[in-house]
Amino acid sequence: MIRVIPFASCYVYSPSGTCPTSERSRLLRATLKACDEEFLHRYAARVRQQADSHPAFAELFGPRSVLIPVPGSAPRSRATRWVAEGLARALAREGLGATVWTGLQRVRPVRKSATADCGKRPTVATHYRSFAIDAGFAPPEECVLIDDVVTKGRTMLAAAARMHDAFPTARIRAFALLRTMGMVAEVERLIEPCQGEIRWRSGDAHRTP
């Protein structure tokens, strides 16, 4: 199993803060989850601005980077709209990456982390078993997993492990538009670009920062 993946993020989100900025962060998350194309385009444009001024973002979204949406909690259907796929396509339209690759699929549903009690949230292993690779897609070499929100990083790490098993020579990194700041009472700003890691340690995923 892959044990660490580099990741980057642009916005922050406070689950319980009471200051105006924290409340705005929850509104941002709700808007993002609604998968509104106009707002996804705005978010992607902001990421484009960050890539122009942050070398780490510019490297992540290089001309060979293939953007891979992390599937939602249920297998795709005609009614399913995965936020990560909408975000990945918006980022690609901004010139952030070569193309969008949808070969990573969810083949069995998992409980949504946002609606589960802490002790009942899907584990890395549960996420891993729920993913599969569509053999009809050509393998990417420069992989950037795209998700809307990252908390501990379990979904990201499981997705990276599944990709690594299928394509062991591929370079795998990750990007989440919004990262949860559950251990911080309040957030002072919404846009706070970061570069960090999601690491397998002590039987679970751990995100830094």
- Which amino acid is present at 170? A
Q: How far apart are the C-alpha atoms of 155 and 31, rounded to whole Å?
A: 21
Would you give the end-to-end CA distance of the chain in angstroms?
Answer: 22
Q: Which two tokens stand for residue 61?
A: 């979204």
- Which amino acid is present at 49? Q
Nearest CA to 80 out of 102, 100, 99 is that of 102
Do residues 208 and 197 lie in contact, with contact meaning Cβ atoms separated by under 8 Å? yes
Query: For position 81, what pLDDT does the model report?
Result: 77
Sign of the Cα pseudo-torsion (30, 204, 167, 135, in order): negative
Count how many domains the chain has.
1
- Tell me which residue range forms the domain holding 135: 4-208
Query: For position 118, what pLDDT does the model report?
Result: 63
Quickly state the pLDDT bin for 114 (edges 50, 70, 90): low
Taking residues 61-90, what's their average pLDDT? 91
Taking residues 96-117, what's their average pLDDT? 87
Residue 142: burial class (beta carbons within 10 Å; 0-12, 13-18, 19+): middle
Phi, psi angles (nearest 5°) of residue 114: -65, -25
> 């796929």: which residue's tokens?
85
Taking residues 44-60, what's their average pLDDT? 91
pLDDT tops 90 at residue 139: no
Taking only the tens place, the pLDDT of each residue in 15-42 is: 999 999 999 999 999 999 999 999 999 9
Taking only the tens place, the pLDDT of each residue in 4-18 is: 999 999 999 999 999
Quickly state the pLDDT bin for 54 (edges 50, 70, 90): confident
Quickly state the pLDDT bin for 115 (edges 50, 70, 90): low
Sheet of strand 171-180, all strands in order from the earlier edge strand to the far edge: 99-100, 66-69, 142-150, 171-180, 4-13, 191-201, 204-208
Mean pLDDT in the chain? 93
> pTM to 2 decimals?
0.95
**CATH value at residue 105:** 3.40.50
Q: How many C-beta atoms lie closer than 10 Å to residue 177's C-beta?
A: 26
> 């942050």: which residue's tokens?
54
